[in-house]
Chain A
Amino acid sequence: MASSSRGVQTALQVVLAIAIIALTYFLYVSITAPYEAVERQRQITEDTRARMQQVRDAMIEHNRREGRFISTLDSLVMWLKTDSTMVASMDSLFGAGFSPDSLPFSPRTGSMFELAVNDTLRTPTYRLDDPDSDDYIGTVTGDVTQLNAASWE
């Protein structure tokens, strides 16, 4: 009789231990999952902004060398891939492993960034928009004080 009661007690302890472990796991997941989602989102935003900054650097470099802003992202990629000076200095300008083909696309959704150039004034300006967020760089209003300025900086 006493041994049967001890068996039930042990079984109960095992069940409770499993329940504690399961509940601890669910509690842990419920706490960390939203944080990880936020972290993932933050990382994607950072990656997207970094990509937009690379487009900005390429636009500035093109303007510096050619005296004008290039009007489409496809032309910008083509210029990076075919201009001998740019090909030679690609790693030093954009870091090792840089791929020009990925430049026009947002890491967030794969959508293409939107580029508009206003070259009707003495100092041309451009605006680069991320179609999936409110982030942008520059302006098409011709306001030189906003030239190359990122909305998040």
Chain B
Amino acid sequence: MAGISTAGVEFSQSLMRYAEVEQNDGRHRLVRLGSCEFGFDAAHAFFERGTVQFQDAIRDAMADIFRDTTASRFSVVIPSTRQTRFASTIPADADAALRTALVGYDADLFTEGREGGDVFPVHLAPQAGAHIERYAVSHVDASVSGSLSVLQPVFPDARVDMLPSMSAALIAYRAIVSRTPTTEHPRLLIGVVDDGFEVMLLRGSALLSQEFVQVDAAATLAYRSLLCCHRSGFTWEEIDRVLLYGLLSPDRVSDALEEAFGPCVERINPGVVVGLEEDHFGDDYPIASFLPVVGAALHR
């Protein structure tokens, strides 16, 4: 099979992170990875469709960065703050139409009937003996998905799509764990993102729960993470590892989590998916912040 190239883009305040990956027979080759700093709030300019100059600046930067790209798909990471998040429970024997209808009903309820928009359900691992399926659902407003039109003219032959931040991180995490021996111990995957923390509890590659925690204090994050484990029936001692991604300086977050979970807190390196081990990067290179954008680039 010939290689298929796909790209991911993420906006975080004034920063734009990007990655492009070529996939061929289950192997991944990194085409490009990096970030671009703008002199303005690029996330606001992109998602709120700010002034024309800022949008032009983003388009010009994209055209320059991806000038020789062969990517057929660009996935834009949608920050958790720009999603409405809720949980849906659906009978295990529901067909696709009923499942879609029930998720749509919940979306209507939680978005107070806002017209349009898109839902992204993520299947949570079933509980033993349960006759229901649980989904963590992200709803993205039509105004947010409309912002993708900023990029479409730059890549007229490619498909410009979007992916919720936690889903993107999850895709990259699963690609990482598929390369390592499986463990049945539960793990926490925590993202330090704009205005909050993304907390996911996993066992192997199965997602047990996920939530976006909008708090400032690292100690509160540690408490909410413990609570997340407790709800799924795990104590702090059972957590094998706490893996961090996102904006990880200063170290207050890892310190608070180490206090709660012990010395099992580490930064995740999404580079291993494309054959780049930890020592490939300098100590101060924020490779862990690229997890969602690498996941978006793996989405095809």
Contact = CB atoms under 8 A, between A and B. Distances in A.
A141 B123 contact: yes
A142 B120 contact: yes
A129 to B, nearest CB: 14
B174 A145 contact: yes
B300 to A, nearest CB: 6
Nearest to A120: B100
Contacts of A148: 300
Contacts of B121: 121, 141-143
Contacts of A140: 96
Contacts of B152: none
A93 B163 contact: no
B1 interface: yes
Contact of A57 (B1, B96, B170): B1
B2 interface: yes
Contacts of A153: 26, 178
A25 to B, nearest CB: 41
Q: In the complex, which of the residues B1, B2, B103, B133 has the most CB atoms of chain A within 10 Å of its own CB atom?
A: B1
B130 interface: no
Given A64-B73, A121-B119, A153-B26, A144 B159 contact: no
Chain A contact residues: helix, strand, loop or mixed:
loop
Nearest to B164: A144
B199 interface: no
A93 B2 contact: yes
A76 B115 CA distance: 35
Contacts of A89: 2
Interface of B: 1-2, 4, 26, 72-73, 96-97, 99-100, 103, 118-123, 133, 135, 145, 159, 161-163, 167, 170-171, 174, 178, 207, 299-300
Given A121-B121, A143-B123, A144-B167, 5 more contacts: A122-B145, A141-B123, A142-B119, A146-B123, A147-B300
28 contacts: A57-B1, A60-B300, A64-B72, A67-B159, A92-B2, A93-B1, A93-B2, A95-B1, A118-B96, A121-B100, A121-B119, A122-B120, A122-B145, A122-B161, A123-B161, A140-B96, A141-B96, A141-B99, A141-B123, A141-B133, A142-B121, A143-B123, A144-B163, A144-B171, A144-B299, A145-B174, A148-B300, A153-B26
